[in-house]
Structure 1
């Protein structure tokens, strides 16, 4: 990537010094979660943000409005924690859908409660969902998440398809010695039900900072496992800023994706900006720095002043996440507090 000469960010859009422009906004609506996945947080959970620290529903919508109308954002993904725990989620979706030139809206969820909420969210204007499911085995699900809710997730996937939140995508993380034999069964399940599967390499974003690269199942290992059953060909369509490299399964039209954030980073094409549940802009998932928008918003900042703060935050975005750098440090916040 060619480094550009640093100067003040341009007056429009979320450009950075390396020629990238962020158009995809990830909005965390809560840091709370109703699962306790072993690779994410401890069994007892974490110290959740106090309610006054969280953006209100109106503040969330206002910042999305700023992002869309002043900064060129075209896609909004609601994340958490677990976004279905946000009481005002449906009305937030409805309000964003009512914005002129409304963005495409997606939701990343663990699926618990989705069976009840899929239809109302679709009616409110949600376009699509990504549902996390790391195993087809209910007993393994309980071991990984410390909760016996496998059936709820499966029901949530089905309800999403019935509600027209298409394509329904599944996200799966393979863990060495736990579910690393499930690449093929997970794809079998996805193909049977018409879902699009995305495998994600485990990233150094756990609350306990216990991640070890040598324990991670790599994208190449996942592809090798899938090829024991399926024929995979590179997807000829343009990847753009999409995090997943996709492969055509058995001649198509079905595709499977691998998000190899660690072993094959795609930072050079990154088009994402992130807003935490307490109103901080993060230019990168692994950033050590944040820019507080909540404080400025509550102090009476105008939309243009908020946009300017956001532009400056993204202008400082690093060239890459730096996981391979010997000096790399995990972010102080875990994934559940940052948002996916």
Structure 2
């Protein structure tokens, strides 16, 4: 087995696999209301191609965790079969799913039976009017039903990812935490990152980690968790001295690039060695041209060697990736 190691000694063991660039919400910080020009079907990896590349990552390159993302992965028809086939790999990787939870109430039992271990659900508010403002869809009840179904199916711990938007939901942080704690969901707040399709991100308008904590401390007492963070992106805090925790992912103001253990595979078969990379390595074309597993693994290794020491958001020369988050995968 060969490690996906970059020039700085970081080893990627966590693979994020985007299954589609399509989404059934239109979150204002991600894409415009009318949506985007979706990838043509012939450009997307087939189910067999997805599983083959995951197999190479796991059995040849030492990947231990696989997370399925999008767009919205639940709109991928072959999702359950892909999960089942990935769970059958040896060694078996840990399997998770990042989703907006629309349709999860219907699919959670099948996903659990197929071998999915847990889910991360994107939810920025529990107020119906704010949910509609952010997502441009009146689907809050469906998200809540999906969360409940995931928990009932044993896809836990169920994690919630939330982004705070200034003047929209930033004053609702404590409310969302209380709601999550009552239901035993693990809440993580994420600083808004420059990955929107509109390229309208403004650092001055971003709600920072310090501001997130200040909002939470209007209602709760927070103390740093004892457990070391390791390569996990979230800094954890105990809530009111109890067993409940809340996490803050300060991707912009407190970057953790030095501990990064991730690599990404887009829905059209491109390796991205960083969320903010502006270069990609094409595995789809090589695979369709007849490349062997070893040749594809070597291409992957070469792609990782080009990884930069950090995302460079604070560098004056920083350029936002051409692809938006929906086309990269979280």
Same fold per superposition (TM over 0.5): yes
Give the one of 257, 261, 274 matched to 1:284. 274
Q: Work out whether 1:324 is the aligned partner of 2:305.
A: no
Distance across 1 between alignment mates of 2:229 and 2:209:
16
Q: Provide the residue aligned with 2:176 in structure 1.
A: 186
Query: How far off its partner does 1:157 sit?
Result: 0.4
Give the one of 295, 300, 310 matched to 1:305. 295
Q: Provide the residue aligned with 1:228 in structure 2.
A: 218
Show CA shifts across 1:41-96 (max 9, x none): 00100000000000000000000000001100000000000000000000000000
SS at match of 1:181: helix
Query: How far off its partner does 1:130 sit?
Result: 0.3
Q: Provide the residue aligned with 2:135 in structure 1.
A: 145
RMSD (Å) for aligned C-alpha atoms: 0.7
Q: Provide the residue aligned with 2:39 in structure 1.
A: 49
Q: Provide the residue aligned with 1:17 in structure 2.
A: 7
Q: TM-score, normalised by structure 2?
A: 0.99
Q: Provide the residue aligned with 1:6 in structure 2.
A: none
Q: Provide the residue aligned with 1:4 in structure 2.
A: none
Q: Work out whether 1:262 is the aligned partner of 2:252.
A: yes
SS at match of 1:228: coil
Distance across 1 between alignment mates of 2:101 and 2:205:
27
Q: Provide the residue aligned with 1:167 in structure 2.
A: 157
Q: TM-score, normalised by structure 1?
A: 0.96
Q: Work out whether 1:68 is the aligned partner of 2:58.
A: yes
SS at match of 2:50: helix
Query: How far off its partner does 1:300 sit?
Result: 0.8
Q: Work out whether 1:133 is the aligned partner of 2:123.
A: yes
Distance across 2 between alignment mates of 1:250 and 1:56:
48
Distance across 1 between alignment mates of 2:160 and 2:75:
19
Distance across 2 between alignment mates of 1:150 and 1:287:
33
Query: How far off its partner does 1:251 sit?
Result: 1.4
Distance across 2 between alignment mates of 1:248 and 1:119:
31
SS at match of 2:66: strand
Q: Provide the residue aligned with 2:144 in structure 1.
A: 154
Unaligned runs of at least 5 residues, structure 2: none
Q: Provide the residue aligned with 2:88 in structure 1.
A: 98
SS at match of 1:71: coil
Query: How far off its partner does 1:252 sit?
Result: 2.6
Q: Provide the residue aligned with 1:37 in structure 2.
A: 27
Q: Work out whether 1:208 is the aligned partner of 2:204.
A: no
Query: How far off its partner does 1:235 sit?
Result: 1.1
Structure 1 ranges of 4+ moved more than 6 A: none
Show CA shifts across 1:249-306 (max 9, x none): 1113111100110010000000000000000000000000000000011111111100
- Alignment length (residue pairs): 330
Distance across 1 between alignment mates of 2:30 and 2:121:
16
SS at match of 1:278: coil
Query: How far off its partner does 1:114 sit?
Result: 0.4
Distance across 1 between alignment mates of 2:227 and 2:184:
20
Unaligned runs of at least 5 residues, structure 1: 1-10
Query: How far off its partner does 1:231 sit?
Result: 1.3
Distance across 2 between alignment mates of 1:252 and 1:218:
25
